[in-house]
Copies of this chain bind each other. A is one copy, B any other.
Amino acid sequence: MPIVLFTDFGAGDLYVGQMKAALGERAPKVALLDALHQAPNFEVAPAAHLLAALAPRYPAGSVFVAVIDPGVGGERDAIVLEANGLVFVGPDNGLLSVLWQRATRRRGRRIVWRPEHLSDSFHGRDLFVPVAAALASKRLPRGWFAPMKAPEILLDADDLAEIVYVDHYGNAMTGLRAQAIARATRVRVAGRSLKYARTFSDAGAGKPFWYENSLGLVEIAANRASAAQQLSLHVGTPVVLSPG
């Protein structure tokens, strides 16, 4: 089963390579996958909703290292969660709390082990990676974990009526799960009221619309154009659903 990385460390920066070097030394036979390294910097709540939608697209048994961690080096705890057959390693700052609360099968543990050399600013490399490598290799040293009922920081796990991610096309994902939303519903955002379209080629060129994206979320998009630019959307922009 793979180790999957979900961070705000930057796809082009020098942090992910150091994590992969450490993973390669400790779990050389485990496949590594990059889910996302451009989660919006420091933004825990939107990332928590995005991760809850994205994680089930990865294979059962995957071990996620999830790090959006502005409080690194401070008081926040480090935790391991099992949720619906997936495993998550990361900070106890709310990032893992949305998927935790939505899970029907779950189990949590606090990480009480600390490595000999622990950078104050890079627990991804020094703490979370060794734990993930041990979990993925099924080698669980005694004394690394303590039982836990639930994470300390629990964000609201209801759908989040905000933009949670803007991709490089300018498509803007919300924290709203689309399955339960009638197709006649309008999405009001940035002073506009947008209609549903099934997919890009069903919409007029350049015209913004909403649709159910490939993660099952309501997404604001435009055919061959950047909806984010047209409507000045960014992470945190509120959206409102109104009956059609």
Whether A59 sits at the interface, judged by CB under 8 Å, is yes
The majority secondary structure among interface residues of chain A is: loop
Total identical chains: 3
Counting CB contacts under 8 A, is A202 at the interface?
A: yes
Q: State whether the Cβ of A28 lies closer than 8 Å to any Cβ in chain B.
A: yes
14 further A-B contacts with Cβ under 8 Å, apart from A4-B21, A12-B37, are A2-B24, A10-B168, A12-B168, A14-B36, A14-B167, A17-B36, A20-B33, A24-B33, A28-B31, A72-B199, A72-B201, A73-B198, A119-B213, A125-B214
Chain B contacts of A201 at CB under 8 A? 70-75
- Quote the shortest CB–CB distance from A237 to chain B (angstroms): 19
**In the complex, how many angstroms separate the beta carbon of A24 from the nearest chain B beta carbon?**
6
For A221, the closest partner residue in chain B by CB is: B121
* Chain A interface bracket (under 10, 10 to 19, 20 to 34, 35 or more): 35 or more
Report 25 cross-chain contacts, Cβ distance below 8 Å, ordered by A residue.
A4-B21, A10-B12, A10-B167, A10-B168, A11-B12, A13-B168, A14-B50, A17-B33, A18-B54, A41-B168, A41-B169, A72-B200, A73-B199, A73-B200, A73-B201, A73-B202, A74-B201, A119-B213, A119-B214, A120-B212, A121-B199, A121-B200, A121-B213, A122-B214, A126-B214
